Amino acid sequence: MKELKVFERNKIPLEVKILGIATYIQTSSVRRTAKILSEIHPVSKSSVHRWIKKFKKLPITTEKNKEI
């Protein structure tokens, strides 16, 4: 993630941001994700929302295994 330079600022640790994206994928709730992350580091729901928007813009490709 550091090489992709997705996040401009470093106010919140990168590990918390990645955990936030993973938690959002599981819960589908920005509010719940922010509440969970606030146990580790103070995070607003608007911050989580911005991270999700940036994550969705990443050019992520998946390759299917054709040998199965």
Band (1; pLDDT cuts 50, 70, 90): low
Within-domain flag for 42: yes
The pLDDT assigned to 46 comes to 93
Within-domain flag for 43: yes
Within-domain flag for 47: yes
Question: How far is it, in rounded angstroms, from Cα 68 to Cα 57?
Answer: 30
- pLDDT, one tens digit per residue, over 20-66 is 999 999 999 999 999 999 999 999 999 999 989 888 887 776 676 66
Question: How far is it, in rounded angstroms, from Cα 5 to Cα 43?
Answer: 20
The pLDDT assigned to 55 comes to 86
Within-domain flag for 32: yes
Across the range 3-11, mean pLDDT stands at 70
Within-domain flag for 33: yes
Within-domain flag for 66: no
Structural domain count of the chain: 1
